[in-house]
Amino acid sequence: MSYLYGASVQGIQGFIFETNKLKEIAGASELVEQIATKMFQEMFQEMVPGFDKNQLIVGAAGNIKYIFEKKEDCQKVVKDFPKKILKRAPKITVSQAVIKVVGALTYDHIMKLENNLITQRKKIFGRRELGLMISERARRTSGAGVKWSLYDEDTDVWDTGQQSKIEYNEDGLKHLLLDKVLGKESTLQMSDFTIDINEIITEDSNQWLAIVHADGNNLGKMIQQMAKKLKEGSHDIQEAFSTFSKQMEEATKAAVQEAFYHTIVDKYGADQKVPMRPVVIGGDDITVIVRGDFAMDFTETYLTAFQEQTKEKLASLVKNFGLTDFEEGLTACAGIAYIKPKYPFHYGVDLAESLCSYSKKVAKAINSNHVPGCLTFHKVHSSFVSDYNEMIDTELTATNNTELVRFNYGPYFIEEQTNYATVGNLKDWALELNKDDSPDAPLREWLERLHTNKGTAAQLLNRIRSINSNTTVANLNLEVAISERKTVKSLLKKEEKTEKVTHIFDAIALANIESKK
């Protein structure tokens, strides 16, 4: 008899984006990256000497699955591992579950473990770092202070979490997360990455930051098809899932590196720090902070590279398990939240994830078997950001005489789709609007008039078409400035209900972010 142990890290986002200090965000990201990898192995040796990497099924992206041969060893880890993590990261919670395995490990064992972990994750845990009322408080987190800041510009008190974050961001430590971005043969060093937001943005970059969140499509479907083959007894499940986890990690890492080197390296000032900081890179998803004018190119390149890398890295699994639906690799969808430097990062991350979810919803409605890769973006102007679907109704809709025009033209696809634009189309529109003789200002006025009087808006649009060259009109697709397409709900329900949409709002937004004027 053996024991299948599973652990899942919770509270990652809240821990990482507790403050807007980039040095704390960077340190928290590195700490989280090491929990399921280096930290788990080191703590394992302290609790139960004799870590066996061959028994590790999954050890990445905040998820751990390990096979124990001895019950007492498993009990020791279950008892001590969460406590050890709490000492370094008080707001991180580790949910755990264990399944007895009699005979060979099967897919049913793994699914039972996952269901038990889901149950554990739903439990509410109280805060453990409240401290005494007399305690000095860390100003940015409200946690009990344990140490004064070591930085001259920061006279604040640190709580336990902040202290750990700073320690994990020191130059002497190994940065596993940055290693995933740089690769093995990079000439860049850890010190080339900044821990100061003011070194990511510049006056030339128009002072916009972007939070990019991307997530793979149909990963669960691929695992289910693998499981069907595994149930037939023709493959070893432990080896299969271990290989899948490692190859998926390698594919994501390779895609990030390709996007990083093709769109950022050598394209920023030689005397500047790298204008990008990874936050999460694991499994099939990533979250990065990047200077606004690099975000669109980075995301487009990543989505393209992700499909190519998964096609290459997962080829053996596709062949061995007959996964014909995945012969061209997995695709991914993304969300980009453009924010100002002082805007709360946790709101930006929530928005980026909401935009990614919206992208997935539309893409799956178009083709659920092979979900097309796409992205949705939003430039934040308000002080509070709600769910993106709510924002469409409150911020991105012009209403007049019961006729609606939606300003959310996305998602934008990597490859052409009926009634939707590609990322390439969007970038071309933005490039046209950044020309000196573009009708940028008149088009902004046209968008305003759509809210008040669609009659005068139509007259203004005709005027814009008449006074600009045929090339400008064609490049901005002004002949169909307002088009019709199926609503997201009708796509999902296979209905024919349509809505009016315009691409001009998005084109102007991106042009402003990427402007070099």
In a domain, 204, yes or no: yes
Tell me whether residue 200 is in a domain: yes
| Within a domain: 148 | no
Q: Highest mean pLDDT range out of 146-155, 230-239, 436-445?
A: 436-445
pLDDT of residue 172: 47
* Structural domain contains residue 379: yes
Q: What is the mean pLDDT of residues 254-261?
A: 97
Q: Which of 353, 380, 395 is the last residue of a domain?
A: 395
Instruction: Find out whether the peptide bond into 411 is cis, omega within 30 degrees of 0.
Output: yes
Residue 212 has pLDDT above 50, yes or no: yes
What is the CATH number for 346? 3.30.70.270
Clarify whether residues 341 and 266 are in a common domain. yes
Whether residues 407 and 390 share a domain: the answer is: no
Question: Do 324 and 189 have their domain in common?
Answer: yes
Supply the pLDDT for residue 152: 46
| Local structure of residue 274 (DSSP, 8 states) | B
Q: Which of 77-91, 159-173, 288-302, 464-478 has the lowest mean pLDDT?
A: 159-173
pLDDT tier, 14 (very low <50, low <70, confident <90, very high otherwise): confident
Mean pLDDT confidence for 421-443: 96
Let me know: does 374 contact 411? Beta carbons within 8 Å.
Answer: yes
Listed ranges 36-40, 86-90, 185-189, 268-272; the one with the highest mean pLDDT = 36-40
Region of 401 on the Ramachandran plot (φ > 0 left; ψ -120 to 50 alpha; else beta): left
Per-residue model confidence as pLDDT tens digits over 374-424: 999 999 987 777 789 889 988 899 987 567 999 999 999 999 999 999 999
Q: What is the pLDDT of residue 95?
A: 93
Q: Is 419 left (phi over 0), alpha (psi -120 to 50) or beta?
A: left
| 68 DSSP β-pair partners | 3
Is residue 165 included in any domain, yes or no?
no
| Residue where the block lists tokens 């899948």 | 244
379 and 421 share one domain: no
Q: How does pLDDT run across 269-315, given as a tens digit for each residue? A: 777 899 999 999 988 999 999 999 999 999 999 999 999 999 999 99
Contact 207, 201 (CB under 8 A): yes
Q: Is 488 inside any structural domain? A: yes
Q: pTM score, two decimals?
A: 0.92
Say yes or no: 412 and 338 in one domain.
no
417 shares a domain with 517? yes
Among candidate residues 88, 107, 96, 103, the one with its CA nearest the CA of residue 43: 88
Residues 371 and 320 reside in one and the same domain: yes
Q: How many domains does the chain have?
A: 3
Does residue 153 lie within any of the structural domains?
Answer: no
Which of 130, 159, 189 is the last residue in one of the domains?
130
The residue range of the domain holding 373 is 175-395
Based on the fold, state whether residues 326 and 405 are members of the same structural domain: no
Residue 156 placed within a domain: no
- Looking at 344, 377, 395, the residue that finishes a domain is 395
One domain for residues 188 and 237: yes
Burial class (CB in 10 A: 0-12, 13-18, 19+), 517: exposed
448 and 381 fall within a common domain: no
Whether residue 486 is found in the same domain as residue 507 = yes
pLDDT grade for 62, boundaries at 50, 70 and 90: confident
Q: Are residues 453 and 307 in the same domain?
A: no
